[in-house]
Amino acid sequence: MRIDDLTKLAELAKEQAQASGQKKRAALVAAHEPHALESSIAARRQGLIDLVLIGEAGAITTYLRDAGEQPTDYRIIDAANHEQCVQEAIELVQVGEVDFLIKGILETGELMRGLVNKETGIVKPGAIVCPVALLQSPRYPKIFALADVGITLYPDVDKKVKILNNCVWMMHRIGVTQPKVALLSAVEKVNPKMPDTQDADAIKQKYLKGEITGCIVEGPISFDLAIDKDAAAIKKYSSPVAGDADVLIVPDMVAGNLLIKGMGFFGQMQTADLVIGLEVPVVFGSRGGPVEGKLRSIALAVLVSD
């Protein structure tokens, strides 16, 4: 099944749950805050997930009642602080009791420190942890992925390949069997004064040697050539990726963060994003982000998690 409309993620996730007869299980980490609970409760009410709530049990119980929910309908794990919340979540993953995690009212650093801990964390062997954002624009004919927008500051070639592989995994899971990957830069030619162009060329050479599979890779390539067929025609740039990219890999986290926030604000794009590279996906939206965006990300986690 190919997903081609982010606004239908919740509907598709519900259909999947009904067809399988089994809901995916999610844990909300640090659930003791009304806004953090709102999107997760909405997902449960829509029949998308079964929900475990980790945090201050007394506060969680109060907020559930205020929201018109019965606390006895939920599994609540009492945790005295954020560190304990994260540890409880890790243990649920390790024993196979949840299919994905949802970030609650705790800071990104607090959650990540526990999840990527070399001794007790849940990073997949050989993987890199990064957020992969799916975006949909009325000016572009299909959903596309963007990474890394929030974790790895200045990835080297090896890390960029792993970020690329995370994106390809995501695109395969939403039905894009041979995603076209654009390694973004400001220019299309390798420039010794621009390390990101050298990185992009090194990654493309790995692809040409068969070291990267399941996708088509181009780079370095500028943003306009990656997404605009007219620009590619005017500049006489020939590539199967030009004007038709499914995946945009940015040179560094700063570029990715600025790009996705600019797209969201000025372009009013639909978005859904997950952190990939851990044993389970993590819904990692901003603590103050809109409920609709978090609900889309929860639905995406339902659809792509094993």
Which residue range is the domain that position 243 belongs to?
128-273
Identify whether residues 150 and 77 lie together within a single domain. no
Strand partners, 145: 134, 247
CATH number, residue 203? 3.40.718.10
Structure tokens at 220: 């370095």
Identify whether residues 160 and 224 lie together within a single domain. yes
Identify whether residues 211 and 267 lie together within a single domain. yes
Identify whether residues 147 and 119 lie together within a single domain. no
Q: What is the pLDDT of residue 35?
A: 85
CATH number, residue 113? 3.40.50.10950
Identify whether residues 56 and 181 lie together within a single domain. no
Identify whether residues 178 and 248 lie together within a single domain. yes
Q: What is the pLDDT of residue 228?
A: 97
Identify whether residues 226 and 294 lie together within a single domain. no
pLDDT tens for the chain, 306 residues: list them. Answer: 789 999 999 999 999 888 888 899 999 999 999 988 999 999 999 999 999 999 999 999 999 999 999 999 999 999 999 999 999 999 999 999 999 999 999 988 899 999 999 999 999 999 999 999 999 999 999 999 999 998 899 999 999 999 999 999 999 999 999 999 999 999 999 999 999 999 999 999 999 999 999 999 999 999 999 999 999 999 999 999 999 999 999 999 999 999 988 988 888 788 999 999 999 999 987 666 677 889 999 999 999 997
pTM of the model: 0.93
Identify whether residues 172 and 257 lie together within a single domain. yes
Identify whether residues 132 and 22 lie together within a single domain. no
Identify whether residues 64 and 111 lie together within a single domain. yes
| Number of domains composing the chain | 2
Identify whether residues 267 and 283 lie together within a single domain. no
Identify whether residues 112 and 132 lie together within a single domain. no
Q: What is the pLDDT of residue 84?
A: 97
- What does DSSP say about strands 24-29 and 100-103: parallel, antiparallel, or unpaired? parallel
